[in-house]
Amino acid sequence: MSKKKIVFSGVQPTGNLHLGNYLGALKNFVSLQEEMNCIYCVVDLHAITTFQNPKDLKKNVLETLASFLATGLNPDKSIIFNQSSVSGHAELAWILNCVSRIGWLNRMTQFKDKAGSDKEKASVGLYIYPNLMAADILLYKATHVPVGADQKQHLELSRDIAQKFNSDFDCKDFFPLPEPLIPKNVSRVMSLRDGNKKMSKSEESDYSRINLKDSADEITKKIKKAKSASDQIPDNLKDLEKKPEALNLMHIYSEISKISLEKVLNEMSGKEYSHLKSKLTDLLIDEITPVGKEINKLLNDKSHLELILKKGKEKANIIAEENLKIIREKVGLI
C-alpha cells in the first residue's frame, strides 16, 4: 500500500441495506476510495453474534457485496472481502479480548439495546463484538473509519484498546488511534415512522425505511406515508428541529440534492410538507432505483461476485499476516 492513510469499514450482511447505510456509510466509502487506501469488509463474523440462518447468511454476504459495488465501490481501487475469509480477524480479536476491559464493554450502549431486557440470554459474541470491531480496524492499522453516528462509541473503544496495547507492550504509536469519519447531517438517518429512532434493518415495519432495492412505487408510497408535521414548513432551523420527522426528511433532501439546509428552508418555507415529499420522492427515485437495479443485475452472476471476494481476501490476507507477525512477536507468542 503506497499512500499513508488507511481506511477500514464494515457492513453486516443481515439483509436489505437501507438509506441510512447508504447516506451514513456507503457514499462516504465511495468518495474515500479516490484519496486513500481503502479496505471494505462484509462483516459476517459480526452478523453471527445473533443467530443467522446459514442459507440466508450466504445469500446476504453476496447481496451486501453487490450493494457495495452498485453504490460505486471498485475492487480495482479498494480491497473488498468478507471478514471470515481472513482468519487474522478472529486471531487478533482474541488477543484484544485480553487487552480490553470488562468495565469498558459494560458501557457499550448498543449491547444494552440489542441484548434487550434478558441480557443473560445474549450470546457472548454479542457482548465482545466491539473487541472484534477493534480487531478489524487494527489488523490493517487503519487510520480512518467511515461510519454512522451509532458506531461512534465502538470507535472510541477501539482507540482505548489501541492505546492500551501500545502501552502494555511498550510500543508507542504501533497501532494508530483510528479516527471516525462521520457525516455531518446524515450521521443518523431516522426512521420514517418515528423521528427519534434511527432507520434500521431490524425495525418491524418496512415503511420505516427506504431499502436500496425498493422500486419507484415503494419509495413513493413510503415517503407519502412518512410522518412529517401538520403545519407548514418553517423558515428557520430552530422551529424545524422541534419536529424530528420533518427535520429528518429535510436532512435527507438536503444531502441528496446537495443544497444546504438553510437554502432548502429559504426555498420551501410556508409551503405544505407535501411539497417537500413530492420533491424528495423524485430525488430518491433518481438516486436509489438505479442502485437497486444494479444490485439485482450483479446478483445474477454469483461467480463474478465470489471471484471479487476471493481476490479481495488474498490482498487483505497479505496485509493482515504481515501485521499479525509483528503483533504475535510483541505479545510474546511463538
Residues marked active site are found at 114, 198, 201
DSSP 178: P
Position 58, amino acid: K
- Does 213 sit near ligand TYM (CB under 6 A)? no
**Of 36, 95, 199, 284, which lies in the binding site for ligand TYM, with binding defined by CB under 6 A?**
199
Position 233, amino acid: I
**Of 150, 160, 179, 239, which lies in the binding site for ligand TYM, with binding defined by CB under 6 A?**
150
* CA 291 vs CA 159, 176, 199, 277, 298: distances in Å: 34, 35, 19, 21, 10
Strand partners, 180: 145
Site for ligand TYM in 106-135 (CB under 6 A): 133
**Residue nearer to ligand TYM on the CB measure, 226 or 268:** 226
Instruction: Give the dihedral sign, CA 35/36/37/39.
Output: negative
- Does 8 sit near ligand TYM (CB under 6 A)? yes
C-alpha to C-alpha distance for 231 and 208, rounded to whole angstroms: 22
User: What nine digits make up the cell of 229?
Assistant: 408535521
**Of 25, 42, 276, 320, which lies in the binding site for ligand TYM, with binding defined by CB under 6 A?**
25
Q: How far is the CB of 302 from ligand TYM (least distance, A)?
A: 22
Phi (first) and psi of residue 7, to 5 degrees: -105, 135
- Does 212 sit near ligand TYM (CB under 6 A)? no
**Residue nearer to ligand TYM on the CB measure, 44 or 218:** 44
Q: Which residue number has the CB closest to ligand TYM?
A: 24
Site for ligand TYM in 45-64 (CB under 6 A): 46
Q: How far is the CB of 143 from ligand TYM (least distance, A)?
A: 12
**Of 30, 137, 219, 295, which lies in the binding site for ligand TYM, with binding defined by CB under 6 A?**
137
Instruction: Name the one residue in this structure whose C-alpha cell is 446478483.
Output: 299
**Residue nearer to ligand TYM on the CB measure, 157 or 268:** 157
Give how many residues touch ligand TYM by CB under 6 A.
23
- Does 145 sit near ligand TYM (CB under 6 A)? yes
- Does 67 sit near ligand TYM (CB under 6 A)? no
- Does 10 sit near ligand TYM (CB under 6 A)? yes
**Residue nearer to ligand TYM on the CB measure, 198 or 313:** 198
Give how far the C-alpha of residue 24 lies from the chain's centroid of Cα atoms, to the nearest Å.
7
C-alpha to C-alpha distance for 79 and 32, rounded to whole angstroms: 12
- Of 154, 119, 153, 186, nearest in space to 43 by CA: 154
Q: Are 208 and 199 in contact (CB under 8 A)?
A: yes
- Does 189 sit near ligand TYM (CB under 6 A)? yes
DSSP 233: -
- Report angle CA 127, 102, 39 to the nearest 5 degrees: 55
- Does 151 sit near ligand TYM (CB under 6 A)? yes
- Does 20 sit near ligand TYM (CB under 6 A)? yes
Q: Are 16 and 201 in contact (CB under 8 A)?
A: yes
C-alpha to C-alpha distance for 176 and 291, rounded to whole angstroms: 35
- Of 219, 201, 223, nearest in space to 63 by CA: 201
**Residue nearer to ligand TYM on the CB measure, 113 or 168:** 113
Q: Are 321 and 256 in contact (CB under 8 A)?
A: no
- Does 11 sit near ligand TYM (CB under 6 A)? yes
- Does 292 sit near ligand TYM (CB under 6 A)? no
Q: Which stretch binds ligand TYM (CB under 6 A): 49-57, 140-148, 244-252, 281-289?
A: 140-148
- Does 249 sit near ligand TYM (CB under 6 A)? no
Return residues touching ligand TYM (CB under 6 A).
Answer: 8-12, 20-21, 24-25, 43, 46, 133, 136-137, 145, 147-148, 150-151, 188-189, 198-199
